[in-house]
Amino acid sequence: MTATPQTWTGRWVADRAGIALTGSARLPELVGLALRENRKRAHLLVSNVLGKHVPQRPSVVHGAGLELGRRVRELLGAEAAARAVVLGYAETATGLGHSVADGLDAPYLHSTRRPVPGITPVGGFEEEHSHATSHLLLPADPGLLAGNGPLVLVDDEFSTGQTVLNTIRELHARHPRGHYVVVALVDLRSAADRRRLDRTAAELGVRLDLVATASGGVELPADLLDRAERLIAEAGAVTPEVGPSAAAAAPLVRVGLDWPAGLPDGGRHGFTARDRARLDAVLPRLAGQLAEALPAGARRVLVLGFEELMYAPLRLADALGERLGGDRVRFSTTTRSPVLAVDDPGYAIRTRLAFPAHDDPQDGGSPERYAYNVAPGSDPARRFDAVVLVVDDVADTPALHEGERALLGQLRRVTDRVVLAVLPSHRPVPGAAASLPVPSPSPSSSSSSSSLSSSALAPAPAPVVLPVPLYGPAFSSYPAEEVAWLLKDLSGVALEAPTEEREEAVQSGGAHYAESLPVEYQPGPGYQALFHEALRGSAGRIALAVGTVAETLLRERGPGLVLASLARAGTPVGILIRRWLAFAHGLSVPHYAVSIVRGRGIDPVALRYLAAHHRTRDVVFVDGWTGKGAITRELADALAGTDFDPDLAVLADPGRCVRTYGTRDDFLIPSACLNSTVSGLVSRTVLRAGLIGPDDFHGAKHYAELAGSDVSAAFLDAVAARFGEVRAAAVEGADRLAADPHRTPDWAGWAAVERISAEYGIDNVNLVKPGVGETTRVLLRRVPWRILARRGAGADLDHVRLLAAQRGVEVEEVDGLPYTCVGLIHPRYSRGATGGDGRAVTDGRAVTDGRAVTDGRVRTDGHAVPETTGRES
């Protein structure tokens, strides 16, 4: 708060409109003046410490509320403070009210102008002078406002006190109480307004206290509305609002924040002491994630919140400021309020960005929204090096991204980088028993806490705590920003057994294929040379498939998409799609790796994590290729009845069983040639009783000891290096895919597998693995019987022929094969092969060698045969 009367940002209005502030000498330090296009009230007091219209140090914004909260605590005393509830006003005071609640250590609720489906309002009131009048109260626990402790009402300013009167009358009629405390940064009521408030308190028979940072008055000329209208017309002719320019758009980086599951993003439905503790604990990590997304050397950073979403962005900004050090971070938010901008140092609103509403408002308000003092105007020193825009997922819509006037597009023209962070909008369960818990007293208080109401006496159930993702380099060789693994680390558990032993181990017990890991295949020099040769020959083709899929997803799912690759084969593909979006569009999208197991479905805990952190409709499941389509069907079955979209995106779809693909050709994707050493040194996924509990992610191992053979980065870099040369072709490929009348899956691959199964007397489609990728897996992980190769297939099968020779398996050339090759699992191990449900196939043809298993896990020779997970396509 460095403003002085000589540099007062209300001088322009005061001199021209005849407005004057009286009272406390601190008022010019706290507020400036502007004019707004509102015939109900033409002038606007622009707070310098609220963090709404004027970018301010986040420590100042939060600190102003904390100080008011501490003053309220002193006024109430420890016993009454322990029973207090704080109510803030939308939109301007949602962050201030939350900060007051922090200082008081009390539960918090703010009014809202956003109706929420399924949540019934427990009250509402009107704000007559505002541009958007109706306020709703939507607590998840209706009992929050039913107690008899003090109710603390927080607004940024008191001009008449009418809004407070409306609120007190509405709530007192429903839940009478004896004490109300009204809190504001500035109290500018007239003597008549003060008397009206006193009369209301006496009429209701309540105690009503006021706490404000400064008080005074505003002297207004009788013809203010006419003067303001004239000034707005004159200033508008010479001070155009900031709009799109011909300047190149700055990069847009989307950062995925590890926002804790179930933690409210604000006080719309209530915020408790438990929520406060959880947020405090994770802020340093969240700030680190934001810091990594900023440009190197950024000296001026603005964290921009979104209308009512003030508190979470404020706390993120404060933590980011501490992380970066120095005086580098400012905070403000967008708003509904239309205000005149005048690029003059004596005026509070120097610049404005006007943009369409992007949260699908349902309250009948204006469709325009505004961001003030974000653009530098005529003063280059005011330019921000980066703007971090924080919105909730309800507001992450095409209207935020698309169109000449969209907010993101305008921000990208007034700064050097825009970072987009999307928080999950809290969605309480209507009528749930999880009431807001009574807050504990602050550490400085010796009093025990009291209940808010009789309905709040029952203890609230503990919130569901989801496991946290794993990141490289601690888990996997991929950098942390490339992928978050929704897996449990089982690196210290012995899970591997030789291939034949694994096949035998499941014969007698009908064990699931996903209960043991194969020994990791370590290729010799000849095979490694084949891998690198194949990579050189196919990198461009893979890049084109990646680009086609990425461009298609961006068009059809929007820039808010979230990638969920099916571990582990899908993980390199997800990383490549993420890299393409950054390369071609400046987007940084979240990317997770999740486990799916045939016969058992996709990891339900991973789904809960994704749903808690993102909009389910934004999640796109990604894999490398399709075989006959077993995993495609498994995914669809697993997601039935959820809000997730089961459409699987793959690079190659020879099975013709998905609608989002880069190609339907069956060609070699070199990542299929190897195991963990091309997949970040991560094993197949593991699902085994005793290791994976009901609240655990599926498991996997990190083979850090194989780092010397790791080609994961080499594979990604080789493909990404070809992005530039295939960019135009990828856009054309997405155009063709969008117009393709044959895009709908016809499952021709499944039909071909059924024919092959019958022709070769196997009578089990699960022993037939079609396509280059799946054939490679048969040779690396299973007991192969023979390989069928399309006659004349060339270099794509060099590695297959080499592996087949090493294992003594016949390669039979076949005419008219719909795939480049097909791998057949040996029927004599059919009890160890997996059926459609992932369990053993029992056709009576199992052959043992005297090393019988007794329970599917332990051989008679005493050696453990560890169980595994993973998936087969």
> Cα–Cα distances in Å, from 174 out to 78, 82, 122, 602?
26, 22, 9, 47
Confidence band, pLDDT 50/70/90 cuts, at residue 59:
very high
Judge contact between 768 and 624, C-beta under 8 A.
Answer: no
pLDDT at 362 over 70: no
Burial string for 55-82 (b: 16+ CB within 10 Å, else e) reads bbbbbbbbbbbbebbbbbbebbeeebbb
- Of the two residues 34 and 794, the one the predictor is more confident about is 34
Residues in Cβ contact with 106 at an 8 Å cutoff, skipping those fewer than 6 apart: 69, 81, 84, 85, 86, 152, 273, 439
Task: For the chain, give the number of residues.
Answer: 873
Predicted local confidence at residue 568, as pLDDT: 86
pLDDT digits (tens, 9 = 90+) for 664-691: 888 777 777 778 899 999 998 988 888 8
Predicted local confidence at residue 224, as pLDDT: 83
Lowest mean pLDDT among 58-72, 708-722, 830-844, 859-873: 859-873
pLDDT digits (tens, 9 = 90+) for 650-667: 998 988 899 999 998 887
Predicted local confidence at residue 236, as pLDDT: 65
Lowest mean pLDDT among 31-35, 122-126, 564-568, 799-803: 122-126
pLDDT digits (tens, 9 = 90+) for 703-730: 999 998 899 999 999 999 999 999 999 9
Mean pLDDT value across residues 430-444: 35
Q: Is the pTM of this model over 0.75?
A: no
- Of the two residues 478 and 363, the one the predictor is more confident about is 478
Lowest mean pLDDT among 48-52, 301-305, 479-483: 479-483
Between strands 329-333 and 301-305, the pairing is parallel
Predicted local confidence at residue 373, as pLDDT: 97
Confidence band, pLDDT 50/70/90 cuts, at residue 521:
low
Residues in Cβ contact with 387 at an 8 Å cutoff, skipping those fewer than 6 apart: 301, 302, 304, 374, 411, 414, 415, 417, 418, 419
Mean pLDDT score across all residues of the chain: 82
Quickly list DSSP for 309-365: B-HHHHHHHHHHHHHH-SS-EEEEE-BS--B-----TTSS---EEEEE--S---S--
pLDDT at 831 over 70: no
Mean pLDDT value across residues 49-56: 96
Confidence band, pLDDT 50/70/90 cuts, at residue 512:
low
Mean pLDDT value across residues 300-310: 97
pLDDT at 830 over 50: no
Predicted local confidence at residue 335, as pLDDT: 94
Burial class (CB in 10 A: 0-12, 13-18, 19+), 262: middle
Predicted local confidence at residue 506, as pLDDT: 44
pLDDT digits (tens, 9 = 90+) for 389-399: 999 988 988 89
Euclidean distance between CA atoms 109 and 8, whole angstroms: 34
Lowest mean pLDDT among 76-80, 533-537, 704-708: 533-537
- Of the two residues 435 and 366, the one the predictor is more confident about is 366
Predicted local confidence at residue 385, as pLDDT: 96
Judge contact between 513 and 838, C-beta under 8 A.
Answer: yes
- Of the two residues 453 and 680, the one the predictor is more confident about is 680
Confidence band, pLDDT 50/70/90 cuts, at residue 131:
very low
pLDDT digits (tens, 9 = 90+) for 775-795: 887 887 678 888 998 888 877
Predicted local confidence at residue 315, as pLDDT: 98
- Of the two residues 525 and 265, the one the predictor is more confident about is 265
Closest C-alpha to 345, from 299, 384, 378, 300: 378
**Cα–chain center distance at 476:** 22
Euclidean distance between CA atoms 698 and 489, whole angstroms: 9
pLDDT at 48 over 90: yes
Over pLDDT 70: what percentage of the chain?
83
Lowest mean pLDDT among 293-307, 463-477, 500-514, 543-557: 500-514
Beta bridge partners, 332, equal: 304
pLDDT digits (tens, 9 = 90+) for 741-777: 888 888 888 888 888 888 888 777 778 888 887 888 7
Predicted local confidence at residue 245, as pLDDT: 54
- DSSP three-state, residue 537: helix
Predicted local confidence at residue 292, as pLDDT: 93
